[in-house]
Chains A and B, each alone.
Chain A
Amino acid sequence: MTGLYANELTLAYDDASIIHNLRLAIPMGQVTALVGPNGCGKSTLLRGISRLLKPKHGTVILDGQDIWKLPTKELAKRLGILPQSPVAPEGLTVHELVAQGRYPHQSWLQQWSAEDERVTQEALAITHIEDFADRPVDTLSGGQRQRAWIAMTLAQDSEVILLDEPTTFLDLAYQIDVLDLLYELNRQRKKTIVMVVHDLNHACRYADYLVAVKEGQIAAQGIPSEVVTERLVREVFGVECLIIPDPVTATPLVVPVGRTGKTQPKETVYKADERPDEAEREIA
């Protein structure tokens, strides 16, 4: 039984329960996005799946085995996690950071094998950061830094990679860059990607599978084009919106109405089949 499953999972900090009795199957070989409003428990859920948080109740199963019963390094060889906005020690170079990804493959005596070297170089190459390999991580731009951290999880050589808000605090260009990179990793390297994403439109565009979390429960899950509806966005995020096809990818594009939108005649919001520049002209 291959795959990653959460079974009757209940997660809590101290005494405050965040996730209640949740069931989830992560589709292997796909990109899965966890979405939901602030405080809904999506990051907590990711922490639960990745063994950063011990469940109060229930299990997480990877390839038929309870992840809490696997040796930690065994799990790390199969499942990598990139926490939200990680900080590298001052002066650590990109190469040194990426090399850390080899930790689960090493031991006290076997600290740097030829295989370690090869995989690290490959991870640097895939993420296109070879040119900064000898620069300290803290001197890089936000986007380059995030690439370096992703390279580290790649060097871990795990089938599944979990990421907690990989695009927070990045400029728009870097957000797209990081998401494109994750997409390529999935398509070209067959990595299973699970990420918490803040922007619903990014989730719709890049994810094969979308899980909407509300108040510690799954509100909906499935292919974005089937799952994301105006009603779902209203129920989960409490936002009135229109759903139109993304003019580039034809995936759902969520356009919030907001208070400014309500005061204007509905016609000024451009229709699905119109091109954006025509819509602009119409608004003007």
Chain B
Amino acid sequence: MASESHAHSVRGTWVTIRPRWGRFSYRFDKRVPLVALGIVIFTLVTLVVSISYGEYDIPPLEVVRTIFNVNQDHADYANYRLVVHTFRLPRITLAFLVGMTLAVSGAIMQGITRNPLADPYLLGVSGGASLAAVTVIVWLRITTAGLLPWAAFAGALITAGAIYGLAWKRGSSTPIRLILIGIALESVIGAVTTVMLLFGNINDVQQAYVWLTGSVYGRNWEHVQVLGAWLIVFMPMATLMGRELNTMGLGDDAAKGLGQRVERQRGLLMVVSVALAAGAVAVAGTIGFVGLVAPHVTRRLVGPSHEGLLPVSALFGGALLVLADLIGRWAIAPSELPVGVVTAMIGAPYFIYLLYRNRNR
């Protein structure tokens, strides 16, 4: 938006964007731009470090120059180009996008359920995607990359739809019923998945395990493009709907009193959240904790209003996953820890710390 046309609100805790032309206005907490800038800088530094680190080390400066293709006269340019553009940059970019997606999905789930412990997988997204992926990897034994993301995506959406449908009764599906039915349906799906993992070829099973934990190993630009396109559709939608989440947060009665069509908005937001999570899971498997941790930390940084919370937790989730991916590649080099293992190892201590901080409440 045109920067000269935005006006600061009277109190100064808000930044309001209100161009002179047209009927558009948007506002967010004053802390948002600063925190966002901090995260972006952190991400860029981590990105450069992450690209420069590996079996084939590249000096950080050359990493930057290779990204912009301004070092074509360098003796190792051909190697640099291959490592940066074909291997490391796409997977790290994907890690960032996946982190963004899961964080926003989680923030929406937490907003809808008014439960700070809700995560993107609340509606069976991980169970459904896992069953589908394990079926493809272990049962059908299809190793080409093409089918797996679509199967996982379909599995996630079908399961979420089934849970929502089973919990639907007399015109509404209450959060409690959603949780209970989600657990039941996921246990059946989990049982079937277990059977496949038990009787499958051990190589396939190991591959499936990696997928289940969540990994961005070997992902390429095609994955980035697909998830990127998905994000371009749903991310602005989610951000513009932040206002609905704020109103919903006051409780169903107060929200209805303000004229919100609560059931409809909740359903719509749930679709956005599930769609985002399914997209992330399709390309990177069921990575845990990002969708839980990122909104939590962000809420502490920029407050509970979703206009700022959604975009900033997206950035935070992205940064977190880029960092986790770097740690995963570095921790037991030359082997790799899947990024999903690392996020659990980072995320769980954070929650234990929260538990300790809030021990007297």
Contact = CB atoms under 8 A, between A and B. Distances in A.
Judge A-B direct contact (beta carbons within 8 Å): yes
Interface of A: 47, 50-52, 72-77, 80-83, 86-93, 95-97, 100-101, 103-104, 106, 108-114, 117, 121, 133-134, 153, 156, 162
Contacts of A75: 259
Contact of A111 (B9, B27, B114, B299): B27
Across chains A and B, which 9 residue pairs bring their CB atoms closest together, nearest first?
Answer: A76-B259, A81-B257, A83-B253, A104-B259, A73-B259, A112-B27, A103-B258, A89-B249, A72-B259
21 contacts: A47-B253, A72-B259, A72-B261, A73-B259, A81-B254, A81-B257, A83-B257, A86-B250, A89-B250, A90-B304, A93-B13, A93-B303, A96-B303, A96-B304, A100-B246, A103-B243, A106-B243, A111-B26, A111-B27, A117-B9, A121-B10
Nearest to A74: B259
A86 B251 contact: yes
A92 B249 CA distance: 10
Contacts of A100: 246-247, 250, 258
Contacts of B261: 72
Contacts of B13: 93, 95, 134
B258 A114 contact: no
A82 B304 CA distance: 21
B11 A95 contact: yes
Interface in B1-32: 9-11, 13-14, 16, 18, 23-27
Contacts of A81: 253-254, 256-257
B220 interface: no
Nearest to A102: B258
A130 to B, nearest CB: 9
B305 interface: yes
A76 B257 CA distance: 6
A88 B250 contact: yes
Contacts of B16: 112, 117
B260 A103 contact: yes
Contacts of A112: 14, 16, 18, 25-27
A101 B258 contact: yes
Given A76-B257, A100-B258, A110-B25, 10 more contacts: A52-B257, A89-B114, A103-B243, A103-B258, A103-B259, A108-B240, A109-B24, A111-B27, A121-B10, A162-B257
A83 B256 CA distance: 10
Contacts of A114: 18
Contacts of A133: 11
A111 B10 CA distance: 16
Nearest to A78: B259
Contacts of B240: 108-109, 111
Question: Is the contact region of chain B dominated by helix, strand, or loop, or is it mixed?
Answer: loop
A121 B10 CA distance: 9
Contacts of A97: 250
A111 B257 contact: no
Contact of B257 (A50, A95, A113, A121): A50
Interface string B71-100: 000000000000000000000000000000
A77 B250 contact: no
B23 A110 contact: yes
Contacts of B23: 109-110
A109 B1 CA distance: 13
A157 to B, nearest CB: 11
Contacts of B26: 111-112
A95 B23 CA distance: 23
Nearest to B26: A111
B186 interface: no
B325 interface: no
B307 interface: yes
B307 A103 contact: no
A106 B23 CA distance: 11
B258 A111 contact: no
A73 B262 CA distance: 12
Interface string B222-263: 000000000000000000110100110111011011111100
Contacts of A52: 253, 256-257
A82 B254 contact: yes
